[in-house]
């Protein structure tokens, strides 16, 4: 699956990436995915880009999700960026919380 996202808020950015998922399991509430995406835009007034790595599991309905900035992937004013994201999924949207340091 190809990713094409827009972020709004402290992170004003566009991202593109690719995701690979395994959803056809013996238990309907079990699945897994991995993804890589490149984010380009502005983070609290700093411009540049960085890459995110995703690792997600759904184990009989229990979610484990890790989204991490790939080390040393920050460019321009985002050089040195470290951090992670959490996602809250609602029926209408995905809400991202980005904890980071530069």
Residue 92 has pLDDT above 90, yes or no: no
Q: Calculate the average pLDDT of the chain.
A: 94
In percent, the amount of the chain with pLDDT more than 90 equals 82
Place of tokens 């959803």: 23
Question: How far, in Å, CA of 58 to CA of 5, rounded?
Answer: 22
Residue 1 has pLDDT above 90, yes or no: yes
Using alpha carbons, select from 35, 40, 37, 36 the residue that is nearest to residue 14.
Answer: 40
Q: Give me the DSSP letters along 9-30.
A: SSEEEEEEEEEEEE---SSTT-
The predicted-structure confidence for 30-69, as pLDDT tens digits, reads as follows: 999 999 999 999 999 999 999 999 999 999 989 899 999 9
Write the class of the CATH domain 1-71: mainly beta
Would you list the domain boundaries of the chain? 1-71
pTM as predicted: 0.89
């Amino acid at each position: 699956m190809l990713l094409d996202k827009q972020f709004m808020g402290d992170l004003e950015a566009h991202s593109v990436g690719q995701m690979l998922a395994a959803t056809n399991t013996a238990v309907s509430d079990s699945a897994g995915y991995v993804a890589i995406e490149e984010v380009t835009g502005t983070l609290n007034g700093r411009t540049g880009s960085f890459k995110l790595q995703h690792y997600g599991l759904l184990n009989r309905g229990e979610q484990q999700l890790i989204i991490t900035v790939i080390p040393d992937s920050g460019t321009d004013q985002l050089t040195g960026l470290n951090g992670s994201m959490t996602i809250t999924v609602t029926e209408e949207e995905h809400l991202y919380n980005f904890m980071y340091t530069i």
